[in-house]
Amino acid sequence: MPQLEHVGIAIDEVEAVINCFDDLLGTRPYKAETVASQQVRTHFLDAATAKLEFLDALNDDSAVQRFLDRRGEGLHHLAFEVDDADTAMERLRAAGFTLLSDTPQPGADDKRIFFVHPKETHGVLVEFCETTAAEWTADTITHDDGRTVATYERGAEDAPPLVLLHGAAGSIRDEIAPLMRRLESSYHLIGVDLSGHGASSLPPDDTLTMEHFVADVQATLDHYAVPEAHLFGFSLGSAVALRSAHAAPDRVKRLALFAPNHQWDASLAATMKARLRLDERSPEEKRALHAQHKNPERLFSALRDFVDSLPARNDAIADTLSGVRASTLVIGLDEDPLFPIESTLQVHEALPNARLSILPSRRHSLPKGPLPQVASLLHAHLS
Ligand code: CMX
């Protein structure tokens, strides 16, 4: 079912409109983006259940300028998000609608978009949009041992800082970007590709330890001169967030852990290692992993060794949990195929200052999991 993603509003006087909606809603646009192909500058305002997209025509040839010339400022279009814009185009063509382009076009906010002609939709200009993989540019931080860490910044620098950490074999662009898009209106977001993952490099000796990952977080806070930040972590990222809060409590404000686990035995380690075998992946999966990580073969090998070390660290993990004082939100999945719900409950029980939320999902995944609910819970917990 397509979901209302934004409401387009054609405007003439940008500041007057922004000030008016600030008076109405108490919030201002969190970003502005030029879409040259649409000859428009867009201003996005987070209205919780959907966004407002203020449309400022770039020149007289703009479709938005023609709209303004005919109708003046006002509602311009409704935009609905679909998983696949090409499939949606085929469906609507087959249903007899006239589409305003042959293929999806580049849109604002990491989208591919197309429109249905308003003459066939009772005078309402309808846009369909698909969120594309983030083409974000990374900052690079270099550790003393020469390894580099890629970080991705979104949102206003003067907003409350929130550092986000992906899971094992994940990366910011492929796993955390969809969540960052839902939070960038309210936070100074900094996504970290943990050592060896995504655009970050492995240590010179190809080993990965929790100490490497915690050092990635500390180096990121130092790099952005952030004295104190909220931390969000998914799966492995949640363990790194906990260890970072334990190692430097004065630098961690609030924690949010999604699909955490703190008890490892040989069986769970074996299950995790089986997921970290590149040779058993399909050619398509291998291509995707090579596009995602600098060196997936070495990363997967280093992660298998890292997972092997975890069953011997259960006591250290338990000590970390009991020592974390930060207010923590623990979010579990009721049918997580990797970490049983009991593990989430134990993490919640072991933390001195924690709240608990259980969401429905059969996948150990954030982008393919209950993403909107996670974003909403984070807004509530961090504000
Ligand atoms: N909502 C409802 N009806 C609209 C409309 C809108 N936003 N824009 C135009 N129309 C109607 C006009 O009223 C007119 O209807 P009548 O013939 O009954 O009077 C008809 O569409 C044709 O309008 P036009 O001004 O004569 O012709 P245009 O050259 O403006 O073409 C349209 C209209 C919809 C094809 C054009 O505006 C278009 O291609 N829009 C899609 C692209 C776009 O709007 N981009 C900006 C947003 C980008 C983004 O969200 O990123």
Residue with CA at minimum distance from ligand 1 atom 49: 107
CB 321 within 8 A of CB 261: no
* Cα(94)–Cα(87) distance, integer angstroms: 11
Q: CB of 77 closer than 6 A to ligand 1?
A: yes
Q: CB of 115 closer than 6 A to ligand 1?
A: yes
Residue with CA at minimum distance from ligand 1 atom 21: 118
Structure tokens at 316: 């250290």
**Angle of helix 210-223 relative to helix 236-247, nearest 10 degrees?**
70
pLDDT confidence of residue 319: 87
* pLDDT bracket for residue 309 (50, 70, 90): very high
* Cα(371)–Cα(180) distance, integer angstroms: 10
pLDDT confidence of residue 240: 97
Structure tokens at 137: 């540019």
* pLDDT bracket for residue 318 (50, 70, 90): confident
pLDDT confidence of residue 15: 96
pLDDT of 333 higher than 80? yes
pLDDT confidence of residue 133: 77
Cα pseudo-dihedral 91, 93, 94, 96, rounded to 10: 130
- CA 362 – ligand 1 centroid, Å: 43
Q: CB of 55 closer than 6 A to ligand 1?
A: yes
Amino acid at 279: D
pLDDT confidence of residue 132: 87
- Of the listed ranges 99-108, 130-139, 254-263, 293-302, the one predicted with least confidence: 130-139
pLDDT confidence of residue 315: 84
pLDDT of 325 higher than 80? yes
Structure tokens at 47: 């209205």
Compute the Cα dihedral for 188, 162, 292, 211 and give only its sign.
positive
Q: CB of 108 closer than 6 A to ligand 1?
A: yes
DSSP structure string for 79-130: EEE-S-HHHHHHHHHHTTPPBSSSS-EEETTTEEEEEE-GGGTTT--EEEEE
Mean pLDDT of 259-270: 93
* pLDDT bracket for residue 39 (50, 70, 90): very high
Counting residues of the chain whose pLDDT is more than 90, the rounded percentage is 87
pLDDT of 135 higher than 80? no
- CA 112 – ligand 1 centroid, Å: 18
Among 44, 51, 77, 131, name the best residue to mutate to test ligand 1's pocket (greatest count of ligand atoms within 8 A of Cβ): 77
Counting residues of the chain whose pLDDT is more than 70, the rounded percentage is 100
CB 89 within 8 A of CB 129: no
* pLDDT bracket for residue 41 (50, 70, 90): very high
CB 29 within 8 A of CB 18: yes
pLDDT of 383 higher than 90? no
Average pLDDT in the chain: 95
pLDDT confidence of residue 359: 97
CB 364 within 8 A of CB 336: yes
Mean pLDDT of 200-223: 97
* pLDDT bracket for residue 42 (50, 70, 90): very high
pLDDT confidence of residue 367: 87
Mean pLDDT of 148-169: 96
pLDDT of 158 higher than 90? yes
Tally Cβ neighbours within 10 Å of residue 300: 21
- Of the listed ranges 193-207, 266-280, 313-327, the one predicted with least confidence: 313-327
* Cα(1)–Cα(23) distance, integer angstroms: 33
pLDDT digits (tens, 9 = 90+) for 63-118: 999 999 999 999 999 999 999 999 999 999 999 999 999 999 999 999 999 999 99
Amino acid at 358: I
pLDDT confidence of residue 21: 97
CB 243 within 8 A of CB 320: yes
pLDDT confidence of residue 316: 83
- Of the listed ranges 16-25, 27-36, 52-61, 87-96, the one predicted with least confidence: 27-36
Q: CB of 123 closer than 6 A to ligand 1?
A: yes
Among 5, 40, 65, 66, name the best residue to mutate to test ligand 1's pocket (greatest count of ligand atoms within 8 A of Cβ): 66
pLDDT confidence of residue 48: 82
Q: CB of 64 closer than 6 A to ligand 1?
A: yes
pLDDT confidence of residue 372: 84
pLDDT confidence of residue 1: 84
* Cα(135)–Cα(146) distance, integer angstroms: 26
